[in-house]
């Protein structure tokens, strides 16, 4: 995988983020509000078959590149996405996109600001790579809340900035899962290139930069698995098909002891973790 970075390039990315107020430097890639181009699903309680997803008419799924949080191990068996799943998708012409969300509510990932990204970003990249995810694709970072502007400014913005540093350094892009306000504030700060909008706190509005819009939660089932339905507004919604993965290499990745990634990416992730640690200290 072409995920090699060096310290100089990483620090250049970090320096750019220090001037994040210059939004024109980071114009979002998707400008997608218009006709619905199709639907994708997301799920965590299990894994519907690729055949059922295809027969239901979906384009693919947004899948978790995150582990199950404590207390969900027995039922959240759809986390994380696997290489076998993405390869089966590809055989049927289905696409995958990646999203990171580990915590929720009182354990939300963004609560610790940039320090949280020092833990979460390397894991997101590792699991994306392990599932065959290529570079030059976004990883959506979940803000699964209806935060205040103060929470955004003091915690969410630093979290997204640090996450973007890690993704940019590894050759990836930042996607954001959030409500109308989070997407709007992030765009003002030059953050994000792909936007997956949820309705909580959006007051019935759809942000004009929306790439994917989550329209229905916990109301549908496929192969007995609860799924969420999303409208797709952009031809490029962050989708990918799996590339080459070294299946028999199982190095240690920060926070995960059983994640398959190749040695080059472990070196990259360790470097990302080290530099993120200095940024968040």
Question: What is the number of residues in the chain?
Answer: 281
* pLDDT (0 to 100) of residue 74: 79
User: Cα angle vertex 88, ends 83, 93, to 5°?
Assistant: 120
Using one digit for the tens of pLDDT, what is the confidence trace for 58-84?
A: 999 999 999 998 888 878 899 999 999
Using one digit for the tens of pLDDT, what is the confidence trace for 146-173?
A: 999 999 999 999 999 999 999 999 999 9
Whether 47 has a pLDDT exceeding 60, the answer reads yes
- Give the pLDDT mean for 264-280: 50
Q: Comparing 103 with 80, which gets the higher pLDDT?
A: 80
User: In this structure, what is the dihedral angle of CA atoms 130, 134, 138, 143, given to the nearest 10 degrees?
Assistant: 0
Q: Closest by alpha carbon to 223, among 56, 98, 99?
A: 56
CATH placement of domain 7-280: 3.20.20.80
3-state secondary structure of 101: coil
Q: Comparing 138 with 281, which gets the higher pLDDT?
A: 138
Whether 262 has a pLDDT exceeding 90, the answer reads no
Whether 118 has a pLDDT exceeding 60, the answer reads yes
The helix/strand count (H/E) of the chain reads as: 8, 8
Using one digit for the tens of pLDDT, what is the confidence trace for 8-33?
A: 443 344 434 433 333 333 334 445 56
Q: Comparing 96 with 13, which gets the higher pLDDT?
A: 96
Q: Max alpha carbon distance in the chain (Å)? A: 49
Domain ranges of the chain: 7-280
């Amino acid at each position: 995988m072409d995920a090699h970075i060096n310290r100089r390039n990483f620090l250049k990315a970090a320096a750019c983020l220090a001037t994040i107020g210059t939004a024109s430097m980071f114009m979002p890639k998707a400008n997608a509000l218009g006709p619905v181009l199709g639907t994708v699903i997301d799920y965590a309680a299990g894994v519907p078959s690729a055949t059922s997803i295809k027969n239901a008419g979906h384009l693919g799924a947004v899948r978790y590149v995150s582990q199950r949080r404590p207390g969900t191990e027995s039922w959240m068996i759809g986390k994380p996405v696997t290489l076998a799943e993405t390869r089966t998708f590809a055989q049927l012409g289905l696409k995958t996109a990646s999203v990171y969300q580990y915590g929720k509510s009182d354990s939300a990932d963004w609560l610790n600001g940039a320090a949280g990204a020092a833990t979460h970003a390397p894991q997101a990249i590792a699991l994306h790579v392990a599932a065959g995810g290529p570079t030059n694709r976004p990883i959506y970072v979940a803000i699964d809340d209806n935060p205040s502007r103060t929470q955004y400014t003091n915690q969410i913005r630093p979290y997204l900035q640090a996450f973007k540093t890690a993704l940019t350094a590894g050759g990836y892009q930042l996607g954001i899962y959030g409500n109308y306000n989070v997407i709007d504030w992030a765009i003002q700060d030059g953050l994000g290139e792909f936007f997956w909008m949820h309705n909580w706190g959006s007051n019935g509005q759809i942000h004009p930069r929306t790439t994917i819009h989550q329209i229905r939660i916990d109301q549908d089932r496929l192969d007995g698995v609860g799924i969420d339905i999303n409208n797709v507004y952009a031809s490029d919604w962050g989708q990918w098909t799996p590339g080459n993965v070294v299946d028999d290499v199982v190095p240690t990745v920060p926070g995960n002891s059983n994640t398959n990634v190749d040695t080059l990416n472990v070196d990259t992730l360790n470097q990302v973790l080290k530099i993120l640690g200095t940024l968040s200290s």
